[in-house]
Amino acid sequence: MKSFARRSVLATALAATALTLAGCGENLGKGQVLNVVSGHIVMGATPDRPAVGYFRVEGGPVPVELVAVTADLAQRVEMHESVKEDGMMVMKPLLRAAVPAKGELVFKQGGKHLMIWHINPAAVRAGKLQLAFVFTNNNNERILFDMPIKEAAAAGVDGSAAAAPAAMDHGAEPKKTAAAAPAKTAATPEPEMDHAAMGHGEAGDTVKK
């Protein structure tokens, strides 16, 4: 009887060990998973200007690309990038952005960012907008993330109280300050240009910062 009991205990222990090893084998090599881990939206300085979105994506076990960001409660979402050309900062549309394996993709002020037109007032009142991030893996995997919405005058890039310049100057070219004229009245500033109506990629379609 004692021998049988010992064999039963040994069999139970071996079975438990096998289950543990199987569980470890299932997780082996998976490591960090692709995910949107943080972000926020800064509203435009005026209702006619688009909001700006910043976020951070952690890469998974294989490299992928972010190819689109969409929102059911916004008219349009586009990926843009601020780059320096001929000594000036210009904005260009961004069709895709690489997410390195086990690395990160960051959209931040002064670099890659989202532009979001006409967010539904219900989302603004709720203080968040759900975005769908589309990646080139698993048949264009979509990751949903609720982005907090901050007012332009009260939110910096990191959510601080500092103003967010990128959110305030999107949508229009800054007004030019006229030099004083000795015997004439000051020149009238040029009218603001609507970024939403501007094209991209042509010589006259850049936005000066």
Domains observed in the chain: 35-169 (2.60.40.1890)
- What's the whole-number average pLDDT of the chain? 74
Q: What is the pLDDT of residue 133?
A: 98
Residue partners of 16: CB distance under 8 A and separation at least 6:
none
Q: What is the pLDDT of residue 162?
A: 38
Q: What is the pLDDT of residue 30?
A: 62
Q: What is the pLDDT of residue 11?
A: 53
Q: Please give the angle made by the CA atoms of 108, 111 and 115, to the nearest 5 degrees.
A: 75
Please state the φ and ψ torsions of residue 18, each to the nearest 5 degrees: -65, -40
Q: What is the pLDDT of residue 47?
A: 86
pLDDT digits (tens, 9 = 90+) for 22-66: 444 444 556 789 999 999 999 999 988 999 999 999 999 999 999
Which residues in the chain show pLDDT less than 70?
1-30, 153-209
* Structure tokens, 50: 């688009």
Determine the Cα–Cα distance for residues 29 and 24; give it in Å rounded to an integer: 10
Q: Which of 3, 63, 68 is nearest to 34 (CA)?
A: 63
Which residue bears the tokens 């995997």? 141
Ramachandran class of 195: left when φ > 0, alpha when ψ lies in -120 to 50, beta otherwise: alpha
> Are the C-beta atoms of 80 and 93 separated by less than 8 Å?
yes
Q: What is the pLDDT of residue 206?
A: 37
